[in-house]
Amino acid sequence: MPAERKETRKKLMAFTPVYELRHKTLLGFVGDLTLQGAMVVGEKALEAERHFILGIEFPETPHMMGVTRIVVSARVAWCRQDDSLQEYNIGFEFTEMSEENRSVVETILERYQFRSAWNETALGKP
């Protein structure tokens, strides 16, 4: 995995569950999100390079979108135990995303991203 990211990660303030759709199981909750992937915080370790069909459920999407969930193909890029030793941080890389889902994610990032002092500086805002 490259040391430098092409896109700044955005932490979400909204409660955002992530499901594995084949077996209809909850994998965890979005910790941060980009157009290329997501970091999910879950209770179980996942093996790198496994592929999943993810359902990401957004709690309150803008009314004009009419979408509360996106379905996206993804692979596990990495999985690390959290410092708490009770959770795992799982890095998913989206392998296939429709234009509609891309538009939803862009809107969600703009609307729900966590605006900390660090993010404001990283984004070049005062």
CATH number assigned to the domain comprising residue 14 = 2.40.10
Whether 15 maps to a domain, the answer reads: yes
At 111 the pLDDT is 76
Whether 92 maps to a domain, the answer reads: yes
The Cβ of residue 16 has, within 10 Å, a number of other Cβ atoms equal to: 19
Provide the residue range defining the domain that includes 88.
Answer: 10-49+66-121
Whether 32 maps to a domain, the answer reads: yes
Q: Is the pLDDT of residue 3 over 80?
A: no
Number of domains present in the structure of the chain: 1
Whether 78 maps to a domain, the answer reads: yes
pLDDT digits (tens, 9 = 90+) for 76-85: 999 999 887 7
At 8 the pLDDT is 55
At 69 the pLDDT is 87
At 5 the pLDDT is 45
Phi and psi (nearest 5°) for 86? -115, -10
Whether 58 maps to a domain, the answer reads: no
Where is 100: in which H helix or E strand? helix 99-112
Which position has the higher pLDDT, 72 or 124?
Answer: 72
Whether 34 maps to a domain, the answer reads: yes
Whether 116 maps to a domain, the answer reads: yes
- pTM (two decimals): 0.77
d(CA 55, CA 24) in angstroms, rounded, equals 9
